[in-house]
Every structure is written in structure tokens, then in C-alpha cells.
Amino acid sequence: MVVTIIVFVLVFGVVVIAHELGHFLIAKLNGIRVLQFSIGMGPDIVKFTKGETKYVLKLLPIGGACMFEGEDGIYSSEKGGNAKGDDAQAVQKPEGAFNDANVWSRIATVFAGPFFNIILAFLLSLIVVGFAGESIPVINTLTEGYPAEAAGLKEGDLITKIDGERIYLQGEVTFVSALSGGEPMEIEYKRDGKKYTTVITPKFSEQDNRYYLGFAIGELVQCKGLELIKYGMCEVRYWLKVTVKSLLMLVQGRLSANDLSGPVGIAVMIDETIEVAKPYGLPTIMLNMINFAVLLSVNLGVMNLLPLPALDGGRLLFMFIEVVRGRPVSPEKEGMVHFVGFVALMILMVFVLYNDIARIFVH
């Protein structure tokens, strides 16, 4: 359990640091003053000031924040205190205030957090693909009596498209198959350098309560040079698709809030992954944890871009409204919307935490 906690802190910490570093660096590049760069939540355990920024490490390894000069109407005074609202007029307004920056500079600063998560996911994917290789969607076994065989597919065929969507990885085919509701699928595949198209209607398995196309798939290829870059990008693309489609399924009611996982659920998944990988040695455990960080980083990037109050996407929405209107929304109104969103987010986090703990006791 101690190992799991350490790994959780490291994985979550790297992902959060990348996110906040994106905000930090682009803010600095645009002349916006960063008052505080913090990692974690709760009481401070380590803090120091360098230049104009205070760096803080907090007790709970969840989340982080970049506090900008003038954000939400809060300004630092020359004496080191804070002033808000009308009191802000009583102190000399410092340079580098967030709200004084050009709207596109503010958009870039807010967008940089999620974008750096995608960059981190790509860099980590290069490590995973470079050491473990990549599994491409080549059919290696056909199941007798299932539709893939009847449609004329053969071992060695390379799946290139499903319903017009380009396919690069084994995981993409597996994901599409797992989500199938039995609708016919148009499959494009390559055989002996030529492309063919067929339509397959998945067959329902009473035993597994899901639909199957009727083949096993996957051929491991080692990646170097440009192939490494290509499949590193494909890995990020795959996790982006999984994250976005999962969110859409949640909105459509095909998934419920009970399917969400918070920090406790993530820690449990890390523990289970370590146990499964342990017989294969430390390198396998490390690669699995790096791959887990890829998934987590993509999830954090996408989730933060949702146009919801208190998230980066919510702030970006108000800034794009400012671009269209030619003037910003009232800070008081925007602040109230974000406050309500933050409260709702905290309620959701408590709900997810309860579900995570309940699942532990149920299992």
C-alpha cells in the first residue's frame, strides 16, 4: 500500500505540475505576474518565494493552482498584503495584472494548462512506445461461426478504417467492438497491399453480454525514428478518442455518474495494475505507470477544457464571449458563476469519493 501511495503521488504530481507549468510559462511569456504556483490542496507543507512568485507544496496530492496578479479582482499591495474590490483602489495597482493583459494573451495562458497535459502525454507515449513497441490492428485469429469469418476476413488482414474512421492501433478496434450495440459496421482492411471494404454485423454473446465481431487482433511492431513519433501521436489520439467518447456516453446516459473515478479510485487502479505487472519485473511496472500517466494527463487536459464554470474551459468561454462582444463580462457576474461552479464541483468530488470508497468495501 505504501508503494501504491508513493506511485500515486508521483504520477498525479507529474500530471498536475505539467498543467500548472503550462499556465505559469505562458503567463510569464505574456507579461502576466504569477503570485503563487502551488501543487496539491490543503495545508502548506513546503513553501518559498523566488522573485515575484511564491512556490507552495500542499499536503494533499490532488490538484494545483497558478494565482495571477489581478485575477478575480485580487491585487497584491506593495506591502505584500491583498486588496479586493473597492479596497484595490487604495493601493497602487501593480503591473502585470491578468485582467489588463490582451484577451488573446489571457486565452493562451488559460489554454496552456490543458495543452501542456497533451504535450506531456505525447512525451510519455514516446517512452512507452519506444520501449514496449506498438500493437497494430492485424487479424491473427478468426472465431468460427462469427460474422468476420462469414464476411471474408482472413488472418493477416490489417484493419484500416471502421465506419469511415481511420484506425491505427489494436486498442481502437477493441474499444469500438466493446461499445458496439449490434449495428452493422463498415470495415476497411488491407490485404497484400490492396484495400477492401466489407460490412459486418456484430454477433451477441449471451455468456459475455456483449457483441463480438469474431476475431482476435494485434501484431507488435517495434518503433524507431519517424515511426516512434507517428505511434506516439497515435497513442495520444487514441486516449483522446476514448476520453471524449466516454464523456459523450455519460451525457447520453449510456454511462452513469457511478462510472466516474476520483483520486481513491485512481489509487485503487494503480494498485491493481502494479499487482498484475509485478510478476514481469520493475521495467514492466514502470512502463504501465507511465502509460497510466498518459491516460490521466489526457483526461485532465480534456476535462479542464469542458465549458463549465470553475474549469479552464469555463474561463475560456467567458473570454471568447469578450472577443465577440468587444468587452469583458462583468467580473462580479463571472466570479459568481465560477463560485457556483466550484461548489458544484466540490459536491461532485464528494460524491465520487463516496462511490470510490463504497466500491472498495463492496469488492
Domains and CATH numbers, the chain: 2-32+101-129+285-362 (no CATH), 134-221 (2.30.42.10)
**Which pLDDT value is given to residue 158?**
96
Supply the pLDDT for residue 74: 61
The fraction of the chain above a pLDDT of 90, given in percent, is 53
Query: Tens digit of pLDDT for each residue in 276-294?
Result: 888 888 899 999 999 999 9
pLDDT in tens, 123-133: 999 999 999 99
**Does residue 160 carry a pLDDT above 70?**
yes
pLDDT one-digit tens code per residue, 202-219: 998 888 888 889 999 999
Q: Where are the alpha helices (DSSP H) in the chain?
A: 2-29, 103-132, 147-150, 170-178, 226-252, 263-277, 282-304, 312-325, 331-362
In the predicted structure, residue 153 carries a pLDDT above the cut 80: yes
For strands 82-84 and 134-142, give the pairing.
Answer: unpaired
Q: For the whole prediction, is pTM greater than 0.85?
A: yes
Bridge partners for 211 per DSSP: 204
- In this predicted structure, the answer to whether residue 117 has a pLDDT above a threshold of 50 is yes
Nearest to 72 by CA among 321, 337, 306, 317: 337
